[in-house]
Structure 1
């Protein structure tokens, strides 16, 4: 299989599972105008591609080498994910199309950055997927094709789900939207607490090994 299509397959496998990035993009497409939702998707794509680049070109080596860094990612990232989930449940969604929802771009970029670069699972997944693939041996001429394939997957996926959801959101009532937010928030809380407890477990193991 050509290196580009290998990168495309790897990229889809990386972004397709429902995680914080997808929940953020889905919620934006449901609650904001299509133009703003597409812009948000583009910002998420930027952070997703930059994370993949760092994972592919060596961030995995740093994370794997320092156990303390892994621990900090689990503890801090777990709390951040949990807080995002709580906020999603508390949010009262609206489908009032007469109101232009126009968040400052810096706020959109900050949220997109958080759900990508402050997401320990995204970093760990990227480390093992892209870092592992590179560790397996990639010819110099194939690296660019792999990254282009992975980047294409990010564009196709995030723009695709944004367009699909924004086109059909007129058929979604506020009750259903609130239910979706609640379910997504609960998933994030469960996910975030799991990360945090994993970090606590590692701390306990470290302490038990010392005493």
Structure 2
């Protein structure tokens, strides 16, 4: 249960910062009927979770075979996590109304797929970040609980933000986005430091 909660809290901190996925969901909730907004959120959730699963278990299978890779991913991943957190604290997100959301659902799915799976930065960050968490775990049970928590976070965040914006769209502005980024930045830096500590502890064992 503890690893599930860790996966849930990290997943929320990882997915909440404002990026293309969030802007797409936010603008849909602001401008489209509620049913369309929820369908869009579900499509984004699907691609977000499948990418997380691929990054977590794909790299994890290699790390189970190669200890040096596990150490490398844990070190580099922790530094990337900390760097992302610092970047979020410095970033000033805005409500970008230029993101086009009025399109057929088939195109919505295609756009969500491209933004998620064909984004090199998302692939690299996801591989290193989720790979580093996989490297810090000692059993299959921990891994399963963690990725379930992270997947739950994706569902809760995108569905939750759709509900909130649909109900309170008039109060959603740049200042709210800035607060979200700051809170997530602090949480991500904390997790990055925790991963770096795990690397140091493993280094002492070798």
Contiguous gaps of at least 5 residues in structure 2: 63-68, 70-95, 175-206
- The alpha-carbon deviation at position 11 of structure 1 amounts to 0.8
Q: 4+ residue runs of structure 1 moved beyond 6 angstroms?
A: none
Q: Which residue of 2 aligns with 1:104?
A: 104
Listed one character per residue, the Cα deviations across residues 31-56 of structure 1 (whole Å, up to 9, x for unaligned) are 11111101110110000000000110
Q: Which residue of 2 aligns with 1:45?
A: 45
Aligned residues: 141
Matched residue SS, 2:18: coil
Contiguous gaps of at least 5 residues in structure 1: 65-86, 94-100, 181-211
Change (3 A) 1:90 1:23: closer
Q: Is the 8 A contact 1:14 1:126 kept in 2?
A: no
- The alpha-carbon deviation at position 118 of structure 1 amounts to 2.1
Q: Is the 8 A contact 1:3 1:145 kept in 2?
A: yes
Change (3 A) 1:88 1:118: farther
Q: TM-score normalised to the size of structure 2?
A: 0.60
Matched residue SS, 1:53: helix
1:17 aligns to 2:9 (yes or no): no
Matched residue SS, 1:89: coil
Change (3 A) 1:30 1:90: closer
Structure 1 residues 177-188: aligned runs within 5 Å: none
Q: Is the 8 A contact 2:56 2:127 kept in 1?
A: yes
Q: Is the 8 A contact 1:24 1:115 kept in 2?
A: no
Matched residue SS, 2:98: helix
Q: Which residue of 1 aligns with 2:126?
A: 126
Structure 1 residues 50-199: aligned runs within 5 Å: 50-59=50-59, 89=98, 103-169=103-169, 171=170
- The alpha-carbon deviation at position 16 of structure 1 amounts to 1.2
Q: Which residue of 1 aligns with 2:34?
A: 34
- The alpha-carbon deviation at position 29 of structure 1 amounts to 0.8
Q: Name the Cα RMSD after superposition.
A: 2.9
- The alpha-carbon deviation at position 20 of structure 1 amounts to 1.1
Q: Is the 8 A contact 2:43 2:112 kept in 1?
A: yes
Matched residue SS, 2:141: helix
Q: Is the 8 A contact 1:14 1:125 kept in 2?
A: no
Q: Which residue of 2 aligns with 1:67?
A: none
